């Protein structure tokens, strides 16, 4: 069985979770045909009404909760253990899959102190223009 990822590419988190993972796995991203028999993972986007083999990775898209409640047949993917527990509780489901978000530290885990050798920045150019 093949995988296809679908994302609307409107938000950074959806793009990271959808586009980057699809590219990493070497699977289809936003195909327009030839995905009918694939397992389809919709990242922060809503599947079409005639869906099958669908999982919804809501990331931080809480606005999808109402749709999920109306479509209990869709598979659900969470980004953290806390999110998995929350979704299981509000959806009254035990079948929430966990694929940890690779760039967020929801559990507030800490590493052992060591010298910092590499520094990175997450955000856009706009955030760099602030006067602090």
pLDDT tens string, the chain, 132 residues long: the values are: 688 888 876 667 777 778 877 887 788 888 888 888 888 888 888 888 888 888 888 877 778 888 889 999 999 998 888 889 999 999 999 999 988 776 666 566 777 888 877 767 666 666 555 554
Token pair for 108: 């507030």
What CA–CA distance (Å, rounded) separates 44 from 47?
A: 10
Domain count, the chain: 1
pTM: 0.69
Q: What pLDDT, on a 0 to 100 scale, did the predictor assign at position 85?
A: 92
Phi, psi of 77 (to 5 degrees): -120, 135
The sign of the dihedral angle between the CA atoms of 7, 9, 10, 11 is positive
Q: What pLDDT, on a 0 to 100 scale, did the predictor assign at position 88?
A: 94
Q: What pLDDT, on a 0 to 100 scale, did the predictor assign at position 132?
A: 45
Q: What pLDDT, on a 0 to 100 scale, did the predictor assign at position 53?
A: 86
Q: What pLDDT, on a 0 to 100 scale, did the predictor assign at position 80?
A: 84
Range of the domain at 49: 3-128
């Amino acid at each position: 069985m093949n995988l296809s990822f679908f994302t609307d590419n409107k938000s950074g988190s959806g793009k990271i979770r959808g586009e980057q993972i699809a590219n990493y796995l070497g699977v289809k991203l936003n195909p327009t045909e030839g995905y009918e028999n694939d397992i389809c993972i919709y990242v922060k986007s809503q599947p079409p009404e005639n869906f099958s083999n669908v999982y919804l990775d809501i990331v931080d898209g809480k606005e999808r909760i109402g749709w999920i409640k109306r479509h209990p047949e869709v598979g659900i993917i969470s980004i953290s253990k806390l999110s998995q527990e929350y979704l299981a509780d509000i959806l009254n489901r035990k079948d929430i899959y966990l694929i940890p978000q690779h760039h967020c530290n929801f559990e507030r885990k800490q590493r052992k102190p060591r010298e910092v050798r590499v520094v990175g920045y997450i955000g856009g150019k706009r955030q760099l223009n602030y006067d602090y």
